[in-house]
A and B are shown apart, each in its own frame.
Chain A
Amino acid sequence: MENEAGALSRVAGLFSARGYNIESLTVAPTEDATLSRMTIVTRGSDEVIEQITKQLNKLVDTVRVVDLSDGGHIERELMLVKVRAEGLLREEMKRMSDIFRGRIIDVTDKTYTIEITGAGHKLDAFLNALDKSAILETVRTGASGIGRGDRILKS
């Protein structure tokens, strides 16, 4: 999208006005500072996805829309999890983080903060694998996606 004030609210407004569901939305400027790139995760029948694509394209600030799930693609999401890390849990948390290729990026004598990246389902799996009562706080970015191989999105 054009990196214009209000572009984000046009997209968010479109989804709420037309009753489409938004699971996550990430946005940041690209290497070309006049453009920003948004990854939206949504769900709907083929007809609904077709309408969403058309409606997004119709926004004057939209440069291009692709449905990444039409072809091979990679998606990644970043999550930070603050967990209890006392007593027996301290070792357990370190081990779980290693298994999921997380990194402990902040440590206190009572807590760890683990950074973990992957597709959404991997982050879900990590949370499921932890003892619920050990999770103090989580924050997720929502997915960013890109096409596989030579597939690129250009204006």
Chain B
Amino acid sequence: MALNMQRLGRMLPSLPVSRAFSTAAGPAATQATSPTPPSPPPPPPPSDTAEVFVDGQPITVPKSFTVIQACDAAGVDIPRFCYHQRLSIAGNCRMCLVEVEKSPKPVASCAMPVMPGQKIKTDTPLVKKAREGVMEFLLINHPLDCPICDQGGECDLQDQAMIFGSDKSRFVETKRAVDDKNLGPLVKTVMNRCIHCTRCVRFSSEVAGTEDLGVTGRGRDSEIGTYVEKLMQSELSGNVIDLCPVGALTSKPYAFTARSWELKSTESVDVSDALGSNIKVDARGSEVMRITPRLNEEVNEEWLSDKARFQYDGLKRQRLNTPMVKGPNGLQPATWGAAFEAIRGAMAGAKGDEIKAIAGKLTDAETLVATKDLLNRLGSGNMKHEDDVAAEPVCADVRSTYLANTTVMGFEQADAILLVGTNPRHESPVFNSRLRKAFLDGAEIASIGPNIDLTYKYQHLGSEPAALSQLLASEHPFLEKLKSASAPAIVIGPGVLRREDRDAVMRAVHELVDKAGVVRPGWNGFNVIHDSASRVAALDLGFVPSASARSAPPPKVVYLLGADDWMDREVPEDAFVIYQGHHGDKGATRANVVLPGAAYTEKSGLYVNFEGRVQQTRAAVPVLGDAREDWKIVRALSEVLGARLPYDTHSAVRARLAEVAPHFALINNLQQPVWLNGEVLQKDVPFQSPVNNFYMTDSVSRASAVMAKCILAKQEAKN
């Protein structure tokens, strides 16, 4: 029975059910409620569905549904603690009791499959009494510390106790006390509050794939923990904070800094990796207080990586808030005018390709296009992205060659996956959880690249490109596997694009793609993933060196757009360096002029994720001090330099973006690229992931004290 339930849990579709299945009230009802009626989805074949009655209202749902899902589909709220649509079914909190006709006792709706003709009652006195009873039991050992609990105001237990709780307790014994656990620098525990729903345990073993949480002991004495004190090993550990229905697991960095009702939420997009997880930036006044995930089935479901969630304290440190010009005493604060004058002076001595721009990891598309236009007006085509480190720049001609064509959600269908030169666990932990999902659904995974724990089992075919040649040359079992798979996929990591033999590796991969039929009608299994948020937009906009720039002399002026990871040979000793960005990192230290820009939480900007989805960030807090939105700085500078850019408003820049690449007009939509189809393979240079330190990859995370703590904690755990 338990096994069946688990399997059931995994089969649950991740679409919001109410939209996927129409109620039996028919199209008329649908029309009445929604102004633009989408054509009703074709009903699933009748043999797989069952008609049930929720409080008398008939509804048709798939037979695989549980009663709670049927109630959700019918729009009837069932209180719950342990049930979570993305985790297996535990059925241990009993809060979801409902009455089912002909069954003598109330039933736990989350663990009960629907039966045709079932009559479910959710508002009878029996149900109310049952829920009140459950609530009383749950509160027996729960401390009365809501006033000092960070979950207060957004706590499921608090909310439901308002409805089903009693105003006094009949319990006169001693409440139990449980040791708090130390799960590392991110998750704070107050284990007295735990109600043993085991959501966190199921999350860590099912989604995160790092089984370190468990229930030890039994009965009254059971507790959640790791048994032996240790760090939660996952890069997704912060998600247990959202999952915990009570205040047992809360955020350590956020602890006691704000109450949920004081916060203003802004829907935005994460830029700490190239997945573009959807986030909610919660701010109080001008300060970002926390970042939480936002549901997007196609991108991050409802998960968020620890870096994306906890690096926000970096937004308050090392910030550049005023223009600066280098004088005899180093960088000195200056006015915008003075800074622009200094730039004009330096630019006068440079012509054409002697002016170079390097885009950083966090640059938004607006700034990229403005900078590109500006440089072109100044006669230069010398521009690149800082991730483009190989001698030959990455070719931006064919969109499908640098995107994840399968799409993140598409990976759920994949049944054979080959990873080439990638460590998705660090490059994009949330994407890695999709791969794990595919693995749990039976996909076979193999990897040529670093041999590390990816949270799922995979065949390690080798660390060097030689393994790729072997795979191609012989009747390799995994090649056969790819060939016979119904939805094979290949994932190329960002490390490959940084290799000197990139083109040779890519050629080999393309050969493999052809040989194994990875791209077929209706299925494109060719994927490149990236690790920085601005990478795909830069390629989409052709922010690559022009033909003439490739043989240009060393630049005299270098314009760094928040770029901090350039190589020394790209910024000559005697070059005049302009740094436009928000953090005082490597780039600002080298700069002659610093132009303070806005961080991703302070501006509205477009980013393209590695599947080619255009998404926008929104300003949650005002920009800092004298800083300005980045595209505006470029626009203002263009005027000073006498190469005025023709756009004055944000919408005009967006229009220009759409002119350069039409898909920029389709925010949040995915434009499937068309699939179209030169070097020596460095056979024994091992594939490496560019992300060798997950917690610090860009200027924001490098400035974050919380991320530094994570690194320390991991190191300590290793020793």
**Are A and B physically bound partners?**
no
Interface residues of B (CB under 8 A from A): none
